[in-house]
């Protein structure tokens, strides 16, 4: 029986979809997290605890286990475990991306350096640290500019500034995020702020699989809500894209170029690009699949989920087809309108009744704190839709969202 090691952070959105996919395969599933599972002591061979912050240490620990029972594949389920997965794969002699390539995708500055060096269309950039004088940095920045922490993901701490005053205000806000214990614990680079030139245009997300260095496009998502700042909250993804075919080809070509520039050659990638009259520009590329619960919009061949496809690829199990199952689909990551304590969600039945809506999943529980961007790192939930055209999908998502009402009490009252 094939043996699979899944690297699952305790707070990832991706647990259910990957664990379910693994369970559907005839494999011996081993799950590793950064904190002990409650049943780890009962199942020490199958529920591991690894130090995700120290990839070499984690790799040594897994290599010791593999000498007794070898692994056939190691799969990271999200951004937080891509580097440690690469280190483990290298230690076990399994195929995969190099640690250096994956590490570059986890640091926005190193990514920019690699893309710029290769000539991949991407924003101009400057790197600062919190030790720098923000007023002086503001005088050097291009405008409009986008300030972002080099180590955080999913638009967290990403702020647009149109002038020096806004730049310094954005810097101070990011500084507060970077000084939280949670972010400071990320170590080297946690005090860095990358300043990029703002690239206008429509944003898209490309979901792909690298097979022996060749990019296979799994899905291209339009993001119909303008992402012009000051914060960059992702909301609606709809596939297939409504862009012209030649533009889609150009997006795929530039994404493949970016992957090569970073040295990525194997496994899933998720890329975000802007498209304007100058063509596609790479905003980010990650060595992982789409985040949140968004993969639930996708099926391949006769019904394979994205996670099943990724696991099959990693384990060398035949994949019938990489073609996305037909039919426009979409997802809305429900934005957090204001901070506070979530008391209740009203309107769910009415929202679910909107034609085309397949499911609505609320992922924050009543009584929990909700924090909007740029400080927050969670969504209220996800709305999934299917329709005869991408336009119909988008309309359904917006209407379902309109029917939802989130009771959020101020923190001090709750």
Partner 1 sequence: MATELKERVQALLNNSINPAVAGHGGYIELIDVKDDTVYIQMSGGCQGCGAADVTLKAGIERMIREEIPEVKDILDVTDHAAGRNPYYSPSKG
Catalog residues that contact partner 1 under the rule CB under 8 A.
Answer: 8-13, 15-16, 19-20, 23, 29-31, 33, 37-39, 41-43, 46-47, 78-80, 153-154, 156, 291-292, 361-368, 377-379
CB 149 within 8 A of CB 128: no
Could you give the C-alpha distances from 408 to 80, 335, 359, in angstroms and in order?
A: 29, 13, 22
Residue 192, strand partner residues = 129
Closer CB to partner 1, residue 257 or residue 379? 379
As measured in angstroms, the least distance from the Cβ of 317 to partner 1 is: 19
Burial classification of residue 350, based on how many CB atoms lie within 10 Å of its CB (0-12 exposed, 13-18 middle, 19 or more buried): middle
Closer CB to partner 1, residue 63 or residue 362? 362
CB 240 within 8 A of CB 220: yes
Could you give the C-alpha distances from 163 to 137, 143, 160, 167, 170, in angstroms and in order?
A: 12, 6, 9, 6, 11
Closer CB to partner 1, residue 31 or residue 111? 31
Closer CB to partner 1, residue 19 or residue 243? 19
Closer CB to partner 1, residue 164 or residue 375? 375
As measured in angstroms, the least distance from the Cβ of 20 to partner 1 is: 7
Q: Which residues of 86-113 are buried (b: 16+ CB within 10 A; e: fewer)?
A: bbbbbbbebebbbbebbbbbbbbbbbbe
Closer CB to partner 1, residue 110 or residue 216? 110
As measured in angstroms, the least distance from the Cβ of 31 to partner 1 is: 5
As measured in angstroms, the least distance from the Cβ of 304 to partner 1 is: 19
Neighbours of 329 (CB within 10 A): 25
**DSSP string spanning 273-312?**
EEEETTEEEEEEEESS---TTGGGG--BTTTB-HHHHHHH
What is the residue whose two structure tokens read 């990525």? 264
As measured in angstroms, the least distance from the Cβ of 7 to partner 1 is: 11
As measured in angstroms, the least distance from the Cβ of 258 to partner 1 is: 22
Give the separation between CA 341 and CA 358, rounded to whole angstroms.
27
Closer CB to partner 1, residue 46 or residue 116? 46
Using only C-alpha atoms, the chain has a radius of gyration, in whole angstroms, of 21
Q: What is the dihedral of CA 194, 198, 204, 207, to 10 degrees?
A: -20
As measured in angstroms, the least distance from the Cβ of 326 to partner 1 is: 29
As measured in angstroms, the least distance from the Cβ of 379 to partner 1 is: 8
Closer CB to partner 1, residue 126 or residue 345? 345
């Amino acid at each position: 029986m094939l043996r699979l090691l899944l690297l699952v952070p305790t707070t990832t959105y991706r647990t259910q979809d990957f664990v379910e996919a693994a369970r559907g395969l005839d494999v011996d599933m081993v799950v590793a997290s950064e904190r002990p599972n409650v049943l780890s002591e009962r199942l020490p061979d199958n529920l591991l605890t690894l130090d995700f912050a120290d990839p070499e240490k984690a790799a040594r620990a897994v290599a010791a286990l593999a000498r007794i029972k070898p692994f056939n594949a190691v799969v990271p389920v999200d951004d937080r475990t891509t580097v440690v997965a690469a280190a483990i794969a290298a230690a076990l002699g399994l195929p995969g991306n190099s640690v250096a390539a994956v590490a570059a995708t986890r640091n926005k500055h190193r990514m920019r350096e690699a893309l710029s060096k290769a000539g991949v269309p991407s924003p101009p950039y400057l790197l600062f640290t919190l030790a720098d004088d923000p007023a002086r940095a503001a005088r050097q920045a291009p405008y409009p500019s986008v300030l972002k922490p080099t180590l955080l993901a999913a638009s967290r701490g990403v702020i647009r500034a149109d002038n020096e005053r806004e730049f310094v205000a954005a810097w101070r806000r990011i500084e507060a995020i970077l000084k939280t214990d949670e972010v400071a614990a990320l170590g080297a680079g946690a005090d860095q702020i990358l300043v990029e030139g703002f690239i206008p245009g429509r944003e898209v997300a490309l979901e792909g699989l690298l097979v022996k260095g060749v990019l296979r496009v799994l899905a291209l998502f339009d993001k119909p809500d303008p992402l012009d700042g000051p914060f960059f909250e992702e909301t609606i993804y709809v596939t297939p894209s409504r862009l012209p075919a030649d533009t889609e080809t150009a997006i795929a070509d530039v994404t493949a170029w970016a992957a090569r520039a970073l040295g990525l050659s194997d496994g899933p990638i998720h890329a975000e690009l802007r498209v304007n009259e100058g063509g596609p520009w790479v905003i980010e590329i990650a060595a992982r699949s789409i985040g949140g619960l968004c993969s639930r919009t996708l099926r391949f061949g006769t019904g394979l989920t994205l996670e099943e496809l990724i696991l099959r690829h990693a384990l060398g199990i035949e994949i019938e087809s990489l073609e996305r199952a037909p039919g426009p689909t979409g997802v809305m990551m429900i934005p957090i309108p204001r901070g506070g304590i979530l008391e209740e969600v009203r309107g769910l039945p009415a929202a679910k009744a909107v034609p085309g809506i397949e499911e609505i999943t609320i992922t924050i529980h009543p009584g929990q704190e909700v924090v909007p961007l740029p400080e927050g790192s969670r969504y209220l939930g996800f709305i999934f839709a299917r329709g005869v055209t991408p336009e119909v999908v988008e309309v359904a998502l917006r209407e379902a969202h309109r029917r939802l009402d989130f009771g959020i009490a101020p923190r001090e009252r709750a």
